Amino acid sequence: MFKLYNHAYSTCSQKVRLVLAEKQIEWDDVQISFKDNEHYAPWYLKLNPNGVVPTLQHDDTVVVDSSVIMEYLDEVVPEPAMSPKAAADRARMRAWLRYFEEVATPAVRFPSFNQTFLRHFQALEKEAFEDAVASRPLRRRFIEKMGQQGFTDKDLMVAYENIELTTGRMEKALAQQDWLVNGPRPSLADCCVAPLLDRMEDLGHAYLWDDKPALKAWLARFRLRESWGKTFYRGARLSELDLYQDLRERSRKLEDLVVC
């Protein structure tokens, strides 16, 4: 029995949902309400002390951290395999995973919060904002850095540059093969980064890879797979929520930041 505590538009949840769908694993979908701060509820913190999603419960085993969950699923349900058989190829896949975790994932977090979640913090009184920061087991300093005015232009510029570095590295690999790790299907590495690029496109920043045809073909190829539709259902993108209808209009583009 697999149970995934997750949220529809959480990119970390999406990458695990992609793996579950690719491997055709049956699982219970437990949606955690961000609006109700359910991820900070005592019962949830017992499962995941970081207070973030997703969390996987497999019988009596609880697994946290989205990339760890992906690798766990590929080990306990070995077919169809989403990791290469050869040790050297698995090492290359894990290098992709570490790179995405250290470079792309934090980068996407900046525009995501600045364009969408910031407004919730702006509506708080100063004391309530300080309480909201203090209540976070993880990324407390990230919210503190954002403050109630949003991230600086320099913060955003660095984030966009890191996305460009990521897509540039991906373009070189994808010019030679259909997937980041050569094989007949997406690997864990593909599933790790795809939701991040989908989020950046949703926020209005797909211009960052306008000059990368192999990457654009990879993204289009991924979107044709059955796993994509199962993962990105209605409500899985911020722009599909009524609250965020003006996402693209409020995006700060890299070229605008450079001019400033």
pLDDT in tens, 151-203: 999 999 999 999 999 999 999 999 999 999 988 999 999 999 999 999 999 99
Q: Say if residue 236 is in the same domain as residue 142.
A: yes
Please state, for a pLDDT cut of 90, what percent of the chain lies above it: 85
Q: Say if residue 53 is in the same domain as residue 176.
A: no
Of 54, 76, 98, at which residue does a domain stop? 76
> Angle, to 10 degrees, between the axis of helix 11-22 and the axis of helix 66-76?
10
Q: Say if residue 43 is in the same domain as residue 100.
A: no
* pLDDT for the residue 210: 97
Q: Say if residue 116 is in the same domain as residue 186.
A: yes
Of 57, 76, 95, at which residue does a domain stop? 76
Of the candidates 252, 49, 57, the one whose C-alpha atom is nearest the C-alpha of residue 157 is 252
Q: Say if residue 179 is in the same domain as residue 104.
A: yes
Tokens linked to 117: 């979640």
CA gap 40, 58 in Å, rounded:
21
Q: Is the pLDDT of residue 52 over 50?
A: yes
Q: Say if residue 106 is in the same domain as residue 37.
A: no
Q: Say if residue 239 is in the same domain as residue 132.
A: yes
The maximal CA–CA distance of the chain, rounded, in angstroms, is 55
Q: Say if residue 116 is in the same domain as residue 173.
A: yes
Q: Is the pLDDT of residue 2 over 60?
A: yes
pLDDT band (50, 70, 90) for residue 120: confident
Domain extent, residue 34, equals 2-76
Q: Say if residue 114 is in the same domain as residue 203.
A: yes
pLDDT mean over 237-243:
81
**What's the angle, vertex CA 140, arms to CA 251 and CA 146, rounded to 5?**
30
Q: Say if residue 168 is in the same domain as residue 92.
A: yes
Tokens linked to 33: 């309400």
Residue 82 in domain: no
Strands (DSSP E) contained in the chain are 2-6, 28-31, 55-58, 61-64
Q: Is the pLDDT of residue 243 over 70?
A: no
Between residues 119 and 156, which one has the greater pLDDT?
156
- Give the chain's mean pLDDT: 93
Place of tokens 């989908």: 198
* pLDDT for the residue 86: 95
Q: Say if residue 161 is in the same domain as residue 233.
A: yes
Mention every residue, 6+ apart, whose C-beta is less than 8 A from residue 199: 11, 108, 112, 237, 238
Q: What's the CATH number where 52 sits?
A: 3.40.30.10
Tokens linked to 21: 């769908």
DSSP β-bridge partners for residue 31: 6
pLDDT mean over 12-34:
97
**What's the angle, vertex CA 202, arms to CA 102 and CA 244, rounded to 5?**
110
Q: What's the CATH number where 131 sits?
A: 1.20.1050.10
